[in-house]
Chain A
Amino acid sequence: GAGVSQTPSNKVTEKGKYVELRCDPISGHTALYWYRQSLGQGPEFLIYFQGTGAADDSGLPNDRFFAVRPEGSVSTLKIQRTERGDSAVYLCASSLKASGRVEQFFGPGTRLTVL
């Protein structure tokens, strides 16, 4: 079946603009995760959803970042007033349920470049 998909694959924007990044998880997966990967670093956790609710948003760096998952499937990561330091690859992952013992399946990522 289809894996996790993310759109767009690349996004170039100007400093100060607003962007939305979309994630389509594997069908039936109730848990959805967002990570950010800067150059030369491993992925860093941002937020995860169990169903429609954000179960842990402790990784969001500041209040410019917000994510939603209104119907428990597709999720959108929203970044307001983008800064050059937001440039990174944003990864989405999903799993059958939120458990440390359940495999997370990753999408291909969205490469965000803030000029």
Chain B
Amino acid sequence: AQRVTQPEKLLSVFKGAPVELKCNYSYSGSPELFWYVQYSRQRLQLLLRHISRESIKGFTADLNKGETSFHLKKPIAQEEDSAMYYCALSGAGANSKLTFGKGITLSVRP
């Protein structure tokens, strides 16, 4: 069975502070890991995926297979980063359904 755990519901930081949103997963095989973001009154959208190994809006995430983690990090938070963040997992092949964590609300205060 595939499972995604986001242990915290809310993270509140001041602008300019570093951010780390935690994500742990369980999957028997090689998973594809994603972070999705939902800004206020907008639809769910892809932020980044581990296969791309890229930085989006200053965010990065490294897949750690030993710790089965995919934490999202940003060194300097901006107010516009305030949103709901979901970690998600799928299989690499045709098993493409996404399994999401419960999500975490990031609040960046001025």
Contacts and interface: CB of A to CB of B under 8 A. Distances in A.
A65 B43 CA distance: 24
Given A42-B86, A98-B94, A103 B46 contact: yes
Contacts, number: 66
Interface in B62-110: 86, 88, 90-103
Nearest to A91: B44
B91 A100 contact: yes
A55 B4 CA distance: 23
A104 B47 CA distance: 11
B96 A102 contact: yes
17 contacts: A42-B6, A42-B88, A42-B102, A43-B86, A45-B98, A45-B99, A56-B95, A98-B94, A99-B94, A99-B96, A100-B93, A100-B95, A100-B96, A101-B51, A105-B45, A106-B45, A109-B43
A106 B43 contact: yes
**Contact residues on B (Cβ < 8 Å of other chain), bracket:** 20 to 34
Given A93-B98, A101-B32, A103-B46, 5 more contacts: A43-B86, A99-B94, A101-B51, A104-B46, A106-B43
Interface string A85-115: 0000001010100111111111111000000
Interface residues of A, number: 30
A3 B58 CA distance: 25
Contacts of A98: 94, 96
A50 B92 CA distance: 16
Contacts of A99: 92-94, 96
Interface string A17-46: 000000000000001010100001111110
A43 B98 contact: yes
A33 B43 contact: no
A104 B93 CA distance: 14
A98 B93 CA distance: 8
